């Protein structure tokens, strides 16, 4: 077995700003995942993306044309030495948070990354490892694609219903309760554990249901702020930094202070979720605060209006179609989580 430094087998490149790009079909990735799609690309070969700032452990693999923002490194991989996906699997197992050089915002540098030592067996061995693990990736990707298609389908159906509806209501008048999350004291280690999902904005990118998060609360931590509990199917909306991300709780959860959540009557949940997703850009524009970070406070968020059918029969008909679709999406998410756990167990065995 040979070992080489990362800087000897890849060239690490910086991402670039995407705001001046037009919409298209090229994915733009940030540390939280897919951000949007544009008309230009930075690179068109397999690459490992490594966070520069933010969620440092969110390493990604891409095999087609892509763009990355400036909080994300991308790599030119020497494929004569290493299989790009083998490299991705190895780096995804590392705790890159340990290499953090930032203060307020977790950060990595090219110099530090270049010094990471990578085990580099023969390419045939690497290819065999990739083959074994890719079985799980294919099924996970298939489930994700099914979910994307189901979400697009129900969104199109909801758009058709919306054409004949003009009734608008504010979130304040619609919701049974609006909750702004809060972070329990990080000075008390016992506040954190594995009991209650604790949702942050990076957890919300491209997620309909959130069952598992990067950090969880213990019962002690969650109970220290009992008024912040969210039931399953609460609608969470990011309101600072990257406003307008919308997800549903998959189970009883809590969020941090960057997220406002709606607790609604069951009949309003799926419709309101889709309405809020369609208003993402509007929610982003409502943010203020006098800084470079958009911040939509609870008061302004509560005033946001969405279209809601004023006829229960229309809403019942829509929910009759929507409910099994959302239930299938949630079931697929649970399977993805189990497959991911099996994949991690195999990675631990192979590396």
Q: Each residue of 121-137: pLDDT tens digit?
A: 999 999 999 999 999 99
What confidence category does residue 270 fall into, taking pLDDT thresholds of 50, 70 and 90?
very high
Q: What angle do CA 21, 24, 29 make, to 5 degrees?
A: 70
Structure confidence by residue, pLDDT tens digits, 213-260: 888 999 999 999 999 999 999 999 998 877 788 999 999 999 999 999
d(CA 244, CA 70): 21
SS percent in the chain: helix, strand, coil, step 5: 40, 25, 35
Do 295 and 181 lie in one domain? The reply is: yes
Does residue 199 sit within a domain? yes
pTM: 0.81
Helices (H), the chain: 6-9, 84-93, 110-114, 123-162, 171-174, 201-204, 219-223, 266-278, 280-286, 298-303, 312-350
Q: Are 242 and 201 a contacting pair, CB within 8 Å?
A: yes
Domain co-membership, 199 together with 131: no
In this structure, are 273 and 316 located in the same domain?
no
Q: Which domain holds residue 229?
A: 168-308
Domain-embedded: residue 196: yes
Q: Is 80 in the same domain as 8?
A: yes
CATH of the domain at 11: 3.90.220.20
The listed range with the strongest mean pLDDT (23-37, 156-170, 286-300) is 156-170
Contact 199, 181 (CB under 8 A): yes
Instruction: Fill in the DSSP letter of residue 221.
Output: H
* Co-location of 101 and 222 in the same domain: no
**Dihedral (CA of 268, 274, 278, 284) sign:** positive
177 in a domain, yes or no? yes
Look over the chain and give the mean of its residue pLDDT values, rounded to a whole number.
91
For residue 4, the cross-strand partners are 118
Predicted pLDDT of residue 293? 44
Output DSSP code: residue 96. G
Same domain, 186 and 298: yes
Confirm if 239 and 247 have CB atoms less than 8 A apart: no
Q: Would you call 86 exposed, middle or buried from its count of C-beta atoms within 10 A (0-12, 13-18, 19+)?
A: buried
Q: Is 237 left (phi over 0), alpha (psi -120 to 50) or beta?
A: beta
Distances (CA, A) of 214 to 58, 116, 120, 193, 197: 10, 23, 29, 11, 8
Could you tell me if residue 326 is inside a domain? yes
Same domain, 194 and 294: yes
Residue 290 scores a pLDDT above 60: no
In the predicted model, what is the mean pLDDT of residues 265-285? 89
Residue 206 CA to residue 26 CA, distance in Å, equals 16
Query: Does 23 reside within a domain?
Result: yes
């Amino acid at each position: 077995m040979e070992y080489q430094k990362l800087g000897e087998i890849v060239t690490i490149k910086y991402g670039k700003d995407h705001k001046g790009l037009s919409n298209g079909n090229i994915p733009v990735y940030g540390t939280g995942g897919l951000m949007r799609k544009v008309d230009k690309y930075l690179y068109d070969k397999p690459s490992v993306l490594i966070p520069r700032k933010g969620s440092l452990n969110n390493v990604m693999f891409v095999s087609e044309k892509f763009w990355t923002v400036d909080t994300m490194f991308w790599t030119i991989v020497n494929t004569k030495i290493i299989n790009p996906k083998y490299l991705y699997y190895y780096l995804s197992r590392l705790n890159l948070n340990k290499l953090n050089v930032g203060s307020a915002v977790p950060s990595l540098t090219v110099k530090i990354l270049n010094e990471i030592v990578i085990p580099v067996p023969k390419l045939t061995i690497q290819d065999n490892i990739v083959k074994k693990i890719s079985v799980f990736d294919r099924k996970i990707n298939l489930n994700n694609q099914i979910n994307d298609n189901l979400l697009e389908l129900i969104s199109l159906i909801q758009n058709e219903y919306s054409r004949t509806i003009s009734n608008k209501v504010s979130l304040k008048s619609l919701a049974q309760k609006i909750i702004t999350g809060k972070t329990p004291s990080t000075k008390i280690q016992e506040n954190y554990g594995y009991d209650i999902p604790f949702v942050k904005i990076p957890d919300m990118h491209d997620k309909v249901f959130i069952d598992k998060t990067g950090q969880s609360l213990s019962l002690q931590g969650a109970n220290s702020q009992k008024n912040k509990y969210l039931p399953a199917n609460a609608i969470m909306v990011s309101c600072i930094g990257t406003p307008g991300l919308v997800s549903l709780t998959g189970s009883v959860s809590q969020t941090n202070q960057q997220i406002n959540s709606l607790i609604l009557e069951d009949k309003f949940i799926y419709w309101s979720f889709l309405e809020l997703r369609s208003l993402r850009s509007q929610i982003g524009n409502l943010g203020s605060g006098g800084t470079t970070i958009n911040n939509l406070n609870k008061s302004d968020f509560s005033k946001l209006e969405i279209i809601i059918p004023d006829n229960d029969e229309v809403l019942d008909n829509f929910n009759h179609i929507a409910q099994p679709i959302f239930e299938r999406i949630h079931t697929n998410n649970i399977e993805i989580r189990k497959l991911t756990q099996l994949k991690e167990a195999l990675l631990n065995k192979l590396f």
